[in-house]
Structure 1
Amino acid sequence: MIQNMSDRARLHNGVEMPWLGLGVYQMDEDKQVVEAVQSALSLGYRSIDTATLYQNETGVGEAVASSGIAREEIFITTKVWNSDQGYESTLAAFETSRRKLGLDYIDLYLIHWPVKGKYKDTWRALEKLYAEGAVRAIGVSNFQPSHIEDIMADSQVIPMVNQVEYHPKLAQKPLLAFCQFHGIQLEAWSPLMNGKLDDPLLHQIAAQYGKTAAQVVLRWDLQNGVVTIPKTVHPGRMKENMDLFDFELSPQDMALISQLDQSVRLGADPDNFDF
Structure 2
Amino acid sequence: MEYITLNNGVKMPIVGTGTNTYGKENNEFKGALKNEIPELVSALELGYRSIDGAIMYNNEELVGRVLAESNVPREELFITTKVPANEEYISSKEATRAAIDSSLKNFQTDYLDLLLIHFPIEDKEQLKNTWKVFEEYYEAGKLKAIGVSNFGKSQLDELKEFAKVKPAVNQIQINLKEKNNELLALLEEEGITPVAWGPMKTEAHQNEVLDEIGKAYGKTGAQVLLKYQIARGVIVIPKSHNRENQAANLDLFDFELTAADVEKIESL
Asked if Structure 1 and Structure 2 have the same fold, meaning a TM-score greater than 0.5 normalized by the shorter chain, the answer is yes
CA contact (8 A) 1:171 1:258 kept: no
Which secondary structure does the structure 2 equivalent of 1:171 belong to?
A: coil
CA distance, structure 2, for counterparts of residue 196 and residue 35 of structure 1: 30
Q: Report deviation, 1:120.
A: 2.8
Q: Does 1:248 align with 2:249?
A: no
State the partner residue of 1:12: 7
Q: Does 1:85 align with 2:80?
A: no
- The structure 1 residue matched to 2:63, chosen from 54, 60, 63, is 60
State the partner residue of 2:30: none
CA distance, structure 2, for counterparts of residue 123 and residue 258 of structure 1: 35
Q: Report deviation, 1:90.
A: 1.5
- The structure 1 residue matched to 2:102, chosen from 87, 91, 96, is 96
Which secondary structure does the structure 1 equivalent of 2:216 belong to?
A: helix
TM-score, structure 2 length as denominator? 0.90
Which secondary structure does the structure 2 equivalent of 1:79 belong to?
A: strand
Q: Report deviation, 1:153.
A: 1.3
AA in 1 matched with 2:142 = A
CA distance, structure 2, for counterparts of residue 142 and residue 132 of structure 1: 26
Q: Any stretches of 5+ residues in structure 2 without a counterpart? A: 25-32
AA in 1 matched with 2:10 = V
Runs of 4+ in 1 over 6 A off after TM superposition: none
Which secondary structure does the structure 2 equivalent of 1:9 belong to?
A: strand
State the partner residue of 2:78: 75
CA distance, structure 2, for counterparts of residue 26 and residue 45 of structure 1: 17
CA contact (8 A) 1:197 1:214 kept: no
CA distance, structure 1, for counterparts of residue 8 and residue 205 of structure 2: 39
Where relative contact order (Cα < 8 A, 6+ residues apart) is larger, the structure is 1
CA distance, structure 1, for counterparts of residue 35 and residue 236 of structure 2: 24
State the partner residue of 2:34: 30
What count of residue pairs does the alignment treat as equivalent? 253
AA in 2 matched with 1:150 = E
Once the two structures are superposed, what CA deviation does each residue of 1:99-151 show, in whole Å capped at 9, x if it has no partner? 11111111100000002003332212111111111110000000112211110
Q: Report deviation, 1:196.
A: 5.4
Q: Report deviation, 1:197.
A: 5.6
- The structure 1 residue matched to 2:153, chosen from 145, 152, 163, is 145
Change (3 A) 1:213 1:13: same
Q: Report deviation, 1:248.
A: 0.9
